[in-house]
Amino acid sequence: MSLPASAQQAVSAFSQCPGWEQRARLLMQWGERLEPLSDAERCEANRVHGCESQVWLVSEQQGQRWQFRAASEARLLRGLLALLLARVNGLPNEELAQLDLPAWFAQLGLERQLSPSRSNGLRAVLSRMQQLMQAANQGSTNH
């Protein structure tokens, strides 16, 4: 399974950071790259439940591939979301369904910085992505 280009960029950027402070700074910079969501998109229907911080997730299916956009008030979480999106955007259904979240953050050297609550929140975001995908797949079989 090859990584999307944006995920490869993330791996090379984070692998050049010798310590946590540089990684934290880089994480904040990645968070600033998130495309902002409109006020209308920051609605209850798009809110991800299971996160301590507020997180909103918007999805769009393009053929068999997915594009997600996400937002959060928490700066560190925004960075983690940006890295999650770098890994999942453009993936086909099968790869999205099988994504190993802990392995992805371990590849970036960030696994130790994921507190249990952050890990749970990111898992909630990933499972929401997978729910949206499954709902879309069930909808498309009815046409």
Which residue type sits at 37?
L
Q: What phi and psi values does residue 69 have, to the nearest 5 degrees?
A: -130, 145
Q: At what angle do helices 75-88 and 5-15 cross, to 10 degrees?
A: 130
Catalytic residue selected from 51, 71, 83, 122: 51
Active site residue 17: no
d(CA 60, CA 12): 27
Radius of gyration of the chain (CA): 15
Return the active site residues. Answer: 51
